[in-house]
Amino acid sequence: MKKYLSNSFGAVMRVREVGVIIPLLIASILFAANSPVFLTSQNLMNIFRNTSFVFITAIGMTYLIISGAFDLSVGPVYAFGGVFAGLLMTNGVPIVLSILIATVVTGGFFGSINGFFVQKIGLPPMLATLASMNIARGVVTGVMKGMPVYPLPDAFAMIGQGSFFKGMSFEIPYVVAIALFLGVIAAFVLKRTVYGRLICAVGGNVETARLAGIPTKVISFSVYILISMLAAFSGILIASRLGSAQPNVGVGYEMQTIASVVIGGTSLVGGVGTIWGTFLGALFMAAISNGMTLVKVSPFWQQLVLGIVLLLACSLDHLRSRLKK
Amino acid sequence: MVKPVLEMKNVSKNFGGVAALKDVSIDLMANEILAIVGENGAGKSTLMKILSGSYHHATYDGTIIINGSPQKFASPTDAEKAGIEMIYQEISMHLDMSIAENIFLGRIPSTAGLVNWKDIFRRAKTFTDMVGLDVPVKESLRNCSTSQQQMVAIARALSRNPRILVLDEPTSALTEREVDLLFEKLIMLKNSGISCIYITHKMKEVMYLADRITVLRDGQFVSTRLKSETTITKTIEEMVNRKITNMYPKRAVPIGEEVFRVENLTVVHPQAANKLIVEDLNFSVRAGEILGLVGLVGAGRSETVNAIFGAITKKSGRVYLDGKELTIRKPKNAIKSGIALLTEDRKRDGFISCMSVAENCTIASLDQVSRNFLLDESGEKTIALDYIHKINIKVAGEKANIMSLSGGNQQKVVLAKWLLTNPKVLLLDEPTRGIDVGAKAQIYEMMCDLAAQGKAIVFISSELPELIGMCDRFIVLGGGKIRAEFARGEADEETLLHYAVVS
């Protein structure tokens, strides 16, 4: 019996996402026991919606971390995307076109800056994206003088506020549907396409990849553009959700996305990771924030709890990888 | 009867039900160098880890007796106290510290927290003198050559006043000349009363250096013989338990037309922009021919093949395949043209450690296992299994992580990766480095097969016997230039070495 237990314990510990599944379950049970609201469909929907805004960018962060790089500039790019789309819309550009232009231009621009300084100049990703983080934030708050773009068209606000099966107990916010759709595509691309394989190769061993004829710099560059586009797009969705595009949203957003990726079991060394794990990571972060508010943990203390949780979840992941050896 | 300095008696150790050592006993006399040989996985490293205290005495069976008194080591510190010093394969030292600091690392003597550097430098000097290292002890280790670093490692071991020195493959990063220097020192130490256990794959070193040779196989003791009572062939036979009639399965294959030609290749020194490491080099290889590049480390052998492949930039030079000039600016161009480069250090740039065997096999030819950018996983599996069988890669399955394989099998995966690109020219840079005798023989066999298929092969190795055994022709490089050229049978080790060393 003891042996059986230890064997099944070992089997559980070998699942890559164990670092997030166990804490997620524990936290959910604790919150459900202490708050009648936590498990209501309305609240779960809220959690999933909050998850989505982080998850969309965390998809890009997963790719980027697997490819062996890093991006701190996603928060300001998130704000930039929303504000840019808002400005286009309030100046008469059609909604869909505004979203498209804002996503592609914002993502392309900041992605290129990051990619250029990391790949061409050879700066460490941490440094290059720390600089572009400040640049992006500076531009967006400077241009807007800190003021939001408001009001936005009602049809646009529908994207962030509306749902499928509205009013029913299983209503699915559009935002959640969009995030899941992107997640499924991203998981497929990572696992089943040449592009996904190349990302893993570049992050696993960039020199081996280069000698195998892989255009390593092009791959890295493309992932930087991808993550910036996803951040901008996610920023447009949050603007839609809030009904206004604010230049100061997304403070701490880079940490939320990176934490989702890492808690989800993606290795910071590069080469390995899953979109599924990142989704669980983002869900976990959202559930903790939401649950703490429900059980009336002061917002002043929440940050501390999130930090401790991050530390514990990562330690569990680290122990797991040591066990594997 | 002389009493042994060290006895290890009836040592057995299991790792989770798998026996790594079964009832192994060895002894070491005073003023003796004992070589322990065996294939990878024979149990040499485990035995030495037991001796060095890396495994707690409760985790294995058997006894360790030093100078007649039984020992129970709970940690490496205990073993050091008993006079045992290990020098490992990978040199573990701080490159940006001085030689003196490295020698006294972790136990820099101080008075009331103050370090008397003058005293340390003086004492460090006595140890560097002992190993004949002619570099100021204040020099940082980074500025030392690999062999000098190796000497510092030995000096550090000596500073702890050991009775027994254990060396694990100390020469893998050294050139032949540096090896000679090391051996001279080891023999000197032996005569001054320090016994040595020497672990290696290299038979020639064993025959030169050892007084006695212990063979291990599959965790079991096979034999201990005086050097005078055994031969290389016999030792290898005992290691692999099968008769090796010829270490080098060289076959005479028809040598065809010239396939590959390099003209006026010039490459700038990677560390010094005003120096050339390869200078105006010209050579060609014919179909079915194995060309050996002979030379010391730093002679420009690796740089030559890396520059041909586009892995490093060349200053000038032209490369022709089947008479047509190629434009190679990056590895991708070379691969497309039909050139493959197996690099010197498979861990650094040969495979991807987080990937499976199958993924490593196909990484340079993903177009063969994909359609419209979608990976064809069953196709990949078929291809990987095909190579696993064809070149006899010992692995649980194609999905196994490459790090779970032995060095020799990892190397076969890297070779499979290049064979999949269907090259006409293979540049093999130290393809047998750090792999066991059995795997080496298989790599040689594969090289012969490839030559028989009409491939042109350039073979770089620091082990002269294997070059002489396998190559049809030799080019001796020195200072980035060709110093001599020989056909098979025209040159022996001494001649090749002579041209490599003497400018």
Kindly state whether residue A8 falls inside one of the protein's structural domains. no
Q: State the average pLDDT over residues B490-500.
A: 81
Task: Sort out which chain B residues have CB atoms less than 8 A from A325's CB and list them.
Answer: none
What pLDDT is stored for residue B355 in this prediction?
A: 95
* Contacts for A256 with CB less than 8 Å, ≥ 6 apart: A54, A58, A282, A285
- The answer to whether the CB atoms of B353 and A205 lie below 8 A apart is yes
Whether the predicted pLDDT of B171 surpasses 60: yes
pLDDT tens across B63-86, in order?
Answer: 999 988 899 998 888 888 889 988
Residue in A194, A201, A212 nearest the CB of B375: A194
The closest CB to that of B311, out of A211, A270, A272, belongs to A211
Which letter, b or e, does each residue of A110-127 get, where b requires 16 or more Cβ atoms within 10 Å of its Cβ? Answer: bbebbbebbbeeebebee
A258: part of which helix (H) or strand (E)?
helix A253-263
Cβ contacts (< 8 Å) between B354 and chain A: which residues?
A: 200, 204, 267, 270-272
Token readout for B4 is 């042994």
pLDDT number for residue B40: 64
A14-72 tens-digit pLDDT: 666 776 888 889 989 999 999 999 999 889 999 999 999 999 999 999 999 999 999 99
Name which of A26-40, A254-268, B91-105, B340-354 the model is least confident about. B91-105
The answer to whether residue A217 neighbours chain B at the CB level (below 8 Å) is: no
The Cα–Cα gap between B453 and B322 comes to 16
CA dist., res. A249 & res. A137, Å (int): 10
**Which is more confident, B494 or B229?**
B229
Q: How many helices (H) and strands (E) does chain A have?
A: 14, 2
Confidence check: pLDDT of B117 > 80? yes
Q: Which residues of A touch B332 (CB under 8 A)?
A: 213-215
Q: Which of A196, A201, A208 sits opposite B349 (nearest CB)?
A: A208
Half-sphere exposure of B456 (CA within 13 A, CB side): 19
- At B309, list the tokens: 């492949």
Say which DSSP state A151 is in.
P
Query: How far, in Å, CA of A286 to CA of A308, rounded?
Result: 15
Q: Of all residues in chain B, what percent carry a pLDDT higher than 70?
A: 94
Q: Is A321 on the interface with B (CB under 8 A)?
A: no
Q: Evaluate if residue B429 carries a pLDDT over 60.
A: yes
Structure tokens at A171: 């209503």
A187 shares contact with chain B (CB less than 8 Å): no
Q: What pTM does this model have?
A: 0.77
Cβ neighbours of A66 in B, within 8 Å: none
Range with the lowest mean pLDDT among A131-140, A294-303, A314-323, B304-313?
A: A314-323
Candidate from A197, A200, A211 with C-beta closest to B343: A211
Residue A45 counted as domain residue = yes
- The first and second tokens of residue B101, run together, are 């600091």
Residue B64: predicted pLDDT:
93
A271: nearest CB among B332, B341, B352 = B352
CA distance, residue B374 to nearest chain A CA (Å): 4
Report whether pLDDT(A6) > 60. no
Decide if A192 and B366 are in contact by the 8 Å CB cutoff: no
Are B373 and A194 within 8 A, CB to CB? yes
Task: Answer whether B349 sits within 8 Å of A271, measured CB to CB.
Answer: no
Cβ B416 vs Cβ B387: under 8 Å:
yes
C-alpha B142: how far from its chain's center?
Answer: 21
Burial level of A280, CB count in 10 A (0-12/13-18/19+)?
buried
Residues of A in contact with B343 (CB under 8 A): 211
| Structure-block tokens of residue B330 | 């990056």
| A12 within a domain of the structure (yes/no) | no
Check if B332 contacts A (Cβ < 8 Å): yes
A171-175, B60-64, B144-148: segment of lowest average pLDDT: B144-148
CA of B341: which chain A residue's CA is closest?
Answer: A211
With beta carbons less than 8 A apart as the criterion, state whether B492 and B470 touch.
no
Which residues of chain B make contact with A273, given a CB cutoff of 8 A?
A: none
Most B CBs within 10 Å, among A202, A211, A269, A272, to test the B interface: A211
C-alpha distances out from residue B177 to B173, B355, B376, Å? 12, 38, 50
CA angle centred on B440, ends B434 and B445, rounded to 5°: 155
B290-294 vs B456-460, strand pairing mode = parallel
Mean pLDDT over B439-465 rounds to: 91
Whether the domain at B6-240 and the domain at B249-338+424-437+454-503 fall into the same CATH topology = yes
Q: Inspect the interface and report whether the beta carbons of A197 and B359 lie closer than 8 Å.
A: yes
Confidence of residue A247 (pLDDT cuts 50, 70, 90): very high
Give the Cα-Cα-Cα angle A221, A226, A231 (nearest 5 degrees).
130
* Domains: count for chain A: 1
Tokens 């985790």 found at: B59
| B374/A contact by beta carbon, under 8 A | yes
Residue B502's pLDDT band (boundaries 50, 70, 90)? Answer: low
The pLDDT tens digits of the residues spanning B130-167 come to 877 788 888 888 887 767 787 888 888 888 888 899 98
Chain B residues touching residue A198 (CB < 8 angstroms): 366
Domain B6-240 has CATH 3.40.50.10860: no
Kindly determine whether residue B349 and residue A205, on different chains, have CB atoms separated by under 8 Å.
yes
A99-103, A224-228, B152-156: segment of lowest average pLDDT: B152-156
- Identify the three-state secondary structure at position A63: helix
Q: Across the interface, which of A204, A210, A214 has its CB nearest the CB of B355?
A: A204
* Distances from the Cα of B224 to the Cα of B37, B202, B229, angstroms: 10, 17, 10
Q: Do B363 and A209 touch (CB under 8 A)?
A: yes
Residue A4 lies in a domain: no
Q: Considering the domain boundaries, does residue A228 fall inside one?
A: yes
Kindly list the domain boundaries of chain B, sorted by start residue.
6-240, 249-338+424-437+454-503, 350-422
Return the pLDDT at A1: 45
Q: Is A204–B353 a contact, with Cβ atoms under 8 angstroms apart? A: yes
Calculate mean pLDDT across residues B372-377: 92
B249-338+424-437+454-503 folds as: Rossmann fold (3.40.50)
Asked if the Cβ–Cβ distance from A213 to B311 is below 8 Å, we say no
CATH code of the domain in which A217 resides: 1.10.3470
CB pair distance less than 8 Å for A204 and B335: no
**Per-residue model confidence (pLDDT) at position B205:** 84
Which position has the higher pLDDT, A79 or A318? Answer: A79
Instruction: Say what the pLDDT of residue B115 is.
Output: 81
Q: Considering Cα of A118, then A123, then A125, then A127, what sign does the dihedral take?
A: negative
Tell me the C-alpha distance between A112 and B194, whole Å: 62
Identify the three-state secondary structure at position B49.
helix
Is residue A110 domain-resident?
yes
Please judge whether B353 and A272 are an interchain contact, meaning their C-beta atoms are less than 8 angstroms apart: no
The overall average pLDDT reported for chain A is: 90
- Bridge partners for B374 per DSSP: A193, B371
Q: How high is the pLDDT of residue A321?
A: 66
Would the CB atoms of A197 and B375 count as touching at under 8 Å?
yes
Inter-chain contact B332–A215, Cβ cutoff 8 Å?
yes
Checking if the pLDDT of A267 tops 80, the result is yes
Q: Which pLDDT value is given to residue B392?
A: 87
The pLDDT assigned to B258 comes to 95
Q: Which positions in chain B touch A195 (Cβ < 8 Å)?
A: 373
- The answer to whether A139 touches A77, Cβ cutoff 8 Å, is no
pLDDT for residue B303: 92
Q: What is the pLDDT of residue B89?
A: 55
Q: Flag whether A13 is in a domain.
A: no
Check pLDDT > 60 for residue A3.
no
* Mean pLDDT computed over B245-269: 87
Question: What does the alpha-carbon distance between residue B466 and residue B348 come to, in Å, rounded to a whole number?
Answer: 24
To the nearest whole angstrom, how far is the Cα of B278 from the nearest Cα of chain A? Answer: 21
Asked if residue A7 belongs to a domain, the reply is no
Query: Do B423 and B454 contact (CB within 8 A), yes or no?
Result: no
Which two three-digit tokens encode residue B230? 């055994």
Instruction: Tell me if B363 and A200 make a contact (CB, 8 A cut-off).
Output: no
Q: Is residue A205 less than 8 Å (CB to CB) from chain B?
A: yes
Give the pLDDT score at A323: 63
pLDDT bucket at A261, cuts 50 / 70 / 90: very high
Which chain A residues are closer than 8 Å to B364 by Cβ? 212-213
Q: Which of B335, B373, B375 has its CB closest to that of A213? A: B335
Residue A135 confidence (pLDDT):
95
A195–chain B Cβ distance below 8 A for any pair: yes
Structure tokens at A286: 């959202």
Bridge partner residues of B476 (DSSP): B294, B484
Which token pair is B454?
């009409």
Domain limits for position A80: 18-324
Residues forming a β-bridge with B26: B8
Q: Which candidate from B351, B364, B374 shows the least CB-CB separation from A213?
A: B364
